[in-house]
Structure 1
Amino acid sequence: MAFSNKSCLVLATILMVGILIFSQQVSSQGECGGALQGLLNNCAAFVTKFGPQTDPSKACCDVVKAADVPCVCQHIPPGAELIVSMEKVVYVANFCGKELPHGTKCGSYTIPPASSFEIEE
């Protein structure tokens, strides 16, 4: 299915409105040492439900490395998961060196246990 320029503009507008609403909910909570706003500003493109999973930018990783990611996961506002993929959030955290333990909840997503086929070092 091909998207027209108008469809892409509408989708981008909806995405930005959703991110702004999410940002407003998050910043009003004042949780996690203020890291949520920086994460939204630098990592939103890498955690939206729209589009493929991609490696985050250095700017995104810099913010992730400084953030309390478990705190962020515990304070995902209701409705945010309509636009934010928790699986991508976990991927970005892991990629940036902030691996979350198996069984940790990030929003409604629970990080699955390690596969029994993985080789432990």
Structure 2
Amino acid sequence: MAWWLRLAVLMMVGSHWAWGQCETSIPKLISQCGQYVEGSGPETTPSKACCDVITSLDIPCMCKYVTPDVEKLVNMEKVVFVAKSCGLTLQPGMKCGSFVIPPSV
């Protein structure tokens, strides 16, 4: 099964209610940004469409619901890279699942 399909299943089934609390369009997030945060490969500057989705998110809310299963599929360092590339400021020390946002370099 493709990584993005596994992620979609995990996010939609495993934590559908929780992610819904953050008013997030999971299908749109996966389709526009999934390729930029998958576990393998280099960091890649996200598309405008991905940034449009990312900048509309309630990141602190979503971070509360990142599970170990999601972290197996999504590279959290890439998530931070994408967020910063899209102009978001993430608070150093904030936890997203078990990942802690590092200090700004």
Asked whether the two chains share a fold, i.e. TM above 0.5, the reply is yes
Q: Give the length in aligned residue pairs.
A: 103
CA displacement 1:58-88 (0-9 Å, x = unmatched): 1000011111112112211331111101111
8 Å CA contact 1:27–1:34 kept in 2: the answer is no
Amino acid across the alignment from 1:57: S
User: Percent identity among equivalent residues?
Assistant: 40
Distance 2:104 2:74 in 1: 23
- Asked if the contact 2:4–2:30 (Cα under 8 Å) also holds between the matched residues in 1, the reply is no
Aligned to 1:23: 11
Give me the whole-angstrom Cα distance separating, in 2, the residues matched to 1:73 and 1:110. Answer: 10
Please list the CA deviations of residues 78-112 of structure 1 after superposition, one character each: whole Å capped at 9, or x if unmatched: 31111101111111111111110111111211112
Structure 1 alignment gaps of length 5 or more: 1-12, 116-121
CA positional deviation for 1:31: 2.2
Q: In 2 relative to 1, CA 98–114 (structure 1 residues): closer, same or farther, beyond 3 Å?
A: closer
Q: Hey, what does 1:47 align to over in structure 2?
A: 37
Q: Which has the higher contact order (CA 8 A, sep 6+)?
A: 2
Partners of 2:80 and 2:53 in 1: CA distance: 14
Cα distance between partner residues in 1 of 2:26 and 2:65? 9
Contact 1:31 1:75 in 2 (8 A): no
| Aligned-residue CA RMSD (Å) | 1.8
- Bigger Rg, which one: 1
TM-score by length of 1: 0.74
Whether contact under 8 Å (2:8, 2:27) holds in the other structure is no
